[in-house]
Amino acid sequence: MGLTLTWLSVIVLIPLAGLFLRTLELSPEQFWSILSSRRTLNALRISFGLAFAAACVNLVMGTIIVWALVRYRFPGRRLFDAIVDVPFALPTAVAGVALTALFAEKGWLGAPLAELGVKVAFTPIGIFVAMVFIGIPFVVRTVQPVLLDLDPEIEEAAACLGANRWHTIVRVILPSLTPALLTGLALAFARAVGEYGSVIFIAGNLPNVSEIAPLLIVIRLSEFRYADATAIAVVMLVVSFVIIFAVNRLQRWARSRIPAD
Amino acid sequence: MSIEVRNLIKRFGSFTALDGVDLKVENGELLALLGPSGSGKTTLLRIIAGLDWPDEGEVAFNGEDALARGARERNVGFVFQHYALFRHMTVFENVAFGLRVQPRAVRKNEAGIRARVKELLDLVQLDWLADHYPNQLSGGQRQRIALARALAIEPRILLLDEPFGALDAKVRKELRKWLRSLHREINLTSIFVTHDQEEALEVANRLVVMDKGRIEQIGSPGDIYDNPASAFVHGFIGESIVLPVEVAEGSVRFGGSLLNIAPDGAACGASKLFVRRHEMAVGPSGSGVFEGTVHHVRSFGPVQRAEVALAGGEVIEIDAPRGKELHAGDTVGLQPRRYRIFAA
């Protein structure tokens, strides 16, 4: 107990407290003017907006991937199962360089997309792509054990009761997976908001257009405007906390409807 | 509704789960499929339900082809060994599920669904659990809810796959009695699968004994117990003493010596003699066809169970009536009152 608290304090709480103390060096007016500056607002909007969009895409695609991995037997299944972990393991800078090369105007995917008039690298779409890439394993790995645990017999039971495939998925399978899906969504979102390494390579980092909040923090730090940096950091912290808290409540609500066995 | 199964064959890779099964189930019957695990009984049940498809053969409900339709259109109630309840739904919603997913044209309105669910929960005597979730229920209660859920869609037949297999002995006994009285009440054509002979003998009107993907015998519980058709059935149903014998023209030999019993039409060659434990009469030495020494006696209830070593070295267990107590070390003569000989 004592050890846990000490460890948590040293590792998590003291740095967070330091963050808040730094912000206190600013007067409320200064604090407000930093936050309400156009560049800060845009950076926050880009970070949170794109992270949320990427997490939603990961939720859908991750669910489809995990379904295939758990329910079907196909050649190379174990290989694909391992590949899911690559975004976990890959250094983020490597991921960023790889994605940039791929989506650059002369890249394998970038060239055909450019012909269609879609520019991915050095635009917000690039940020989104990087966030999708790094977030996918969170959804897959959270949902996988729950789906493995889900008895295929309940689908057979639903079929015997006259339910078609759609009813079975919407009324039986998805509700059973809801807590795990929400957890996966929250983790993918949190990771995407905090992602720095892979994003800055592909983003182009144009202020107000494709500059993410973590990058703005780094820029402020390099300009020795420490209080500005911490002010943005505090906002990110609070917003992230509120979102994670909300998802947590949602999870608890969903789980209360499926009390654990 | 009657069910007819003809020449059903089902293979899983190199394993033949069903090897030419023919079966006719009469309307309103309560039939038990009995066999050891791997005998194909569950596969047969799943094919009838439409959860599996045979490689060859036919399944007909009331004379019409059932294989042309999937599980969803067969209108079959299926009860799983591990209940397969929807754990995110209350008991009420579990039972209502089949009614809620009906096509709009035939679906009941909310009041109609409520009335029907109430009626079913009353039938399984669990109406007070309507707002609970499955994991708050005991195993026996879960299985009754699963049964109510299966009955909600007014199925034409009811299939139960080892319905009491996951329950403890006492609950299992209660549910057996309850299932039989429920069947009397609703009189629905029902098939249930079990590996527990006591359960099958107690619940079913008619028994189908299966082994290795084939039907060994079909008959009433009493008929199968008294007149087993094969060595497998004799060994599987009821407790048997099995001794290796040699059948020749009109004689039976055991361990080289002639037994004073008739071969009863058994074919010549190596065979097995089957005797029920309680049908081996115990008398003084020299009074029977076998001689033996009592090793050990346990007395309980109406019988004393004695372990007897025969002259040839085989050790058998017999059930003798109480009254003339046996003791370890006694030399006894044993005479089978009834016996069967099957080719080995």
Nearest to B71 among A151, A160, A175 (CB): A160
**Is B150's CB within 8 Å of A160's CB?**
yes
Query: CA-nearest residue of chain B to A156?
Result: B51
Are A154 and B86 in contact (CB < 8 Å)?
yes
CA distances from A55 to A118, A186, A202, A251 (A): 22, 8, 18, 16
Return the CATH superfamily for domain A45-212+238-256: MetI-like (1.10.3720.10)
Query: Stretch A73-79: mean pLDDT, rounded?
Result: 89
Asked whether the beta carbons of residue B88 and residue A175 sit closer than 8 angstroms, the reply is yes
Please report residues of A whose CB lies closer than 8 A to that of B89.
Answer: 175
**Using CB atoms, which residue from A157, A171, A176 is nearest to B78?**
A157
Residue A98 has pLDDT above 70, yes or no: yes
Q: Which residues of B touch A (CB under 8 A)?
A: 49-51, 70-78, 80, 82, 84-89, 97-98, 100-102, 133, 135-136, 146, 149-150, 152-153
Name the average pLDDT for chain A.
86
For residue range B265-301, list pLDDT tens digits in order.
777 888 888 899 888 888 888 888 888 888 888 887 8
Taking the Cβ of residue A151 and every Cβ of chain B, the question of whether any pair is shorter than 8 Å is answered with yes
Query: Per-residue pLDDT for B85 more than 50?
Result: yes
Q: Is the pLDDT of residue B123 over 70?
A: yes
The pLDDT-based confidence of A257 (bands split at 50, 70, 90) is low
Higher pLDDT, A222 or B256: A222
Q: Are B297 and B277 in contact (CB under 8 A)?
A: no
CB contact under 8 A, A161 and B136: no
Query: Which residue in B has a C-alpha nearest to residue A172's C-alpha?
Result: B86
pLDDT of residue A62: 93
Looking at residue A259, its pLDDT comes to 52
A124-149 helix and A38-71 helix, angle to the nearest 10 degrees: 40
DSSP 8-state assignment for residue B248: E
Distances (CA, A) of A222 to A28, A217, A227, A257: 23, 9, 12, 49
Does residue A203 register a pLDDT over 90?
no
Contact state of B77 with A160 under an 8 Å Cβ cutoff: yes
Judging contacts by C-beta atoms under 8 Å, the chain A residues touching residue B101 are 158, 161-164, 167, 171
The percentage of chain B sitting over the pLDDT mark of 70, rounded to a whole number, equals 100
- pLDDT digits 0-9 by tens, A18-62: 888 877 778 888 888 888 888 888 888 888 999 999 999 999 999
Chain A residues close to B149, C-beta within 8 Å = 157, 161
ipTM for the complex shown: 0.81
Across B130-141, average pLDDT:
90
- Closest CB from B76, B82, B86 relative to A160: B76
- B293-298 CB contacts, 8 Å cutoff, 24+ apart: B293/B329, B293/B330, B293/B331, B293/B332, B294/B326, B294/B327, B294/B328, B294/B329, B294/B330, B294/B331, B294/B332, B295/B328, B296/B328, B297/B325, B297/B326, B297/B327, B297/B328
Closest chain B residue by Cα to residue A153: B84
pLDDT value at residue A258: 58
More confident residue, B139 or B263: B139
Q: Taking CA atoms, what residue in A is nearest to B74?
A: A160
- Residues of chain B found within 8 Å of residue A258, distances taken between Cβ atoms: 87-88, 133
User: Other CB atoms closer than 10 Å to residue B114's CB: what's the count?
Assistant: 15
CB contact under 8 A, B72 and A159: yes
Report the alpha-carbon distance of residue A113 to residue A122 in Å, rounded.
Answer: 14
